[in-house]
């Protein structure tokens, strides 16, 4: 039976939403870009019936709309009325729809919620091991006003995190992040979902060493490779597709907040989905983002076969292939069969290499990586 207080919260926000006067600003969309606040409330009403969902508002927008957060985790009672069991759980947070026109970002947030609420074994395990928080519509005023990038004040909520006076939406999200970090289960992965018209591609805004640290850059590469491992080759662009913060930290962004305050402890990145005619596969993308985040935070307990995690990071066996780390300008790799015969080879160089399993004919053998001053041999793992 659903909690009455939660029903009241949804009903209240419906009333609040209806009381808002018509926006006077010029609109680019009259239907919430195909998924408005009413659509969200409809979906929230469905999701909150799941026993492992807790629904709450992190705060109100300028025009008084609730900014909803869906928390998914198994709880000590079916109403979620008592605090969720604290334990060895890991915390992951996604927020979407900062830019109202980027409706694809919300489609992914919604699919992530649906994937986590699935009745299967995998979703059940994720709910036991993790606390997932999803803010599927961070800028509902902008959505309802038909604005493409702004809130009701005409401010871009993506890039006002370093202002002395924050917008109410940013203030609410930041306060919630701070509250989570002060608790016993800190956030380990924080994804900021967007969509972009760049060549109909799916990619992450990788933060360069100029604005972060070399240790964080390695973590970013690991995280992106982990997400890629849960979709077919080429579904997501590689880590080096877009690099930002080449010269300095972007303090105006949510990721700037995470980096300044929590450094390597939080994998905070912006993900850009394809924003183009025919963009689809939101369920595939959401699944990969959730599983990639879970793998990253949970040290391989969910997706990537733990047997495949080498102790040394220069050769990583992933679901879809073999990832070979950068080895310096002269680096190279070879794959040899069990008799030592070379069957494949290539350069690893400054960016490393990726060899899909489909190109590896041998079922037993070795990967040999030659760096400037070292040679390393790693046995091929059993296939899965
Ligand atoms: Zn955006």
> What is the C-alpha separation between 84 and 313, in angstroms, rounded?
36
pTM above 0.85, yes or no: no
Count of beta carbons in the 10 Å neighbourhood of residue 315: 22
Beta bridge partners of 293: none
3-class DSSP state of 144: helix
Domain 4-298 has CATH 3.40.630.10: yes
For residue 383, the CA-to-ligand 1 centroid distance in Å is: 39
Cβ contacts of 180-185, under 8 Å, gap ≥ 24: 180/91, 180/93, 180/133, 181/261, 181/262, 184/86, 185/86, 185/89, 185/90, 185/91, 185/131
In angstroms, what is the span from residue 297 Cα to ligand 1's centroid? Answer: 25
Domain extents in the chain:
4-298, 307-379
Give me the average pLDDT of each 10-residue run along the chain (384 residues): 38 36 57 94 93 90 94 61 54 97 97 95 88 96 96 97 96 95 90 90 95 95 94 92 94 98 97 89 95 82 36 62 76 81 83 85 73 67 54
C-beta separation of 135 from 25 below 8 A: no
Specify the pLDDT at position 336. Answer: 83
What's the CA-to-centroid distance between 97 and ligand 1, angstroms? 8
- What is the whole-number distance in angstroms between the Cα of residue 103 and the centre of ligand 1? 10
Residue 286 in contact with residue 329, Cβ under 8 Å? no
- The secondary structure of 263-305 as a DSSP string is GGGSEEEEEEEE-STT---HHHHHHHHHHHHHHHHHTTSSSS-
Tell the burial category of 162 from Cβ atoms under 10 Å away from its Cβ (0-12, 13-18, 19+).
middle
Determine the distance separating the centroid of ligand 1 and the alpha carbon of 26, expressed in angstroms.
19
C-alpha of residue 193 to centroid of ligand 1, in Å: 8
Quote the CA–CA distance of 131 and 128 in Å, as a whole number: 8
Centre of ligand 1 to C-alpha 142, Å, is 13
Q: Are 272 and 194 in contact (CB under 8 A)?
A: yes
For position 294, what pLDDT does the model report? Answer: 93
The pLDDT of residue 374: 61
User: What spacing in Å lies between the alpha carbon of 209 and ligand 1's midpoint?
Assistant: 23
pLDDT of residue 23: 41
């Amino acid at each position: 039976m659903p909690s009455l207080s939660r029903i009241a919260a949804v009903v209240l926000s419906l009333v609040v939403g209806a009381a808002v006067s018509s926006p006077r600003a010029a609109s680019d969309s009259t239907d919430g870009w195909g998924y408005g606040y009413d659509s969200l409330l409809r979906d929230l009403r469905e999701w909150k019936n799941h026993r492992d969902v807790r629904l709450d508002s992190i705060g109100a927008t300028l025009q008084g709309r609730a900014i909803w957060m869906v928390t998914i985790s198994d709880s000590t009672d079916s109403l979620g009325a008592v605090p969720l069991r604290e334990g060895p759980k890991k915390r992951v947070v996604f927020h979407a729809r900062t830019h109202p026109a980027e409706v694809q970002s919300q489609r992914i947030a919604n699919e992530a919620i649906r994937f986590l609420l699935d009745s299967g074994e995998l979703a059940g395990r994720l709910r036991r091991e993790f606390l997932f928080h999803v803010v599927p519509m961070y800028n509902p005023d902008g959505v309802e006003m038909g604005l493409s990038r702004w809130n009701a004040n005409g401010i871009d909520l993506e890039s006002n995190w370093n202002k002395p006076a924050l917008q109410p939406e940013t203030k609410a999200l930041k306060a919630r992040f701070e509250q989570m970090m002060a608790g016993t289960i800190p956030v380990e992965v924080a994804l900021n979902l967007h969509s972009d018209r760049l060549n109909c591609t799916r990619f992450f805004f990788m933060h360069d060493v100029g604005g972060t640290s070399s240790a964080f850059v390695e973590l970013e590469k690991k995280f992106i490779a982990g997400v890629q491992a849960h979709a077919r080759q080429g579904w997501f662009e590689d880590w080096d597709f877009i690099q930002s913060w080449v010269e300095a930290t972007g303090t105006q962004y949510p990721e700037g907040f995470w980096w300044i305050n929590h450094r390597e402890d939080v994998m905070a990145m912006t993900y850009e989905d394809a924003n183009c005619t025919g963009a689809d596969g939101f369920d595939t993308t959401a699944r990969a983002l959730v599983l990639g985040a879970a793998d990253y935070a949970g040290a391989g307990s969910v997706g990537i076969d733990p047997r495949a995690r080498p102790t040394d990071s220069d050769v990583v066996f992933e679901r879809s292939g073999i990832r070979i780390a950068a080895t310096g300008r002269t680096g190279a790799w070879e794959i040899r069969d069990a008799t030592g015969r070379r069957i494949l080879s290539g350069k690893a160089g400054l960016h490393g290499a990726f060899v899909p399993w489909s190109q590896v004919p041998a079922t037993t053998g070795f990967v040999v990586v030659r760096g400037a001053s070292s040679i390393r041999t790693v046995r091929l793992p059993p296939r899965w």
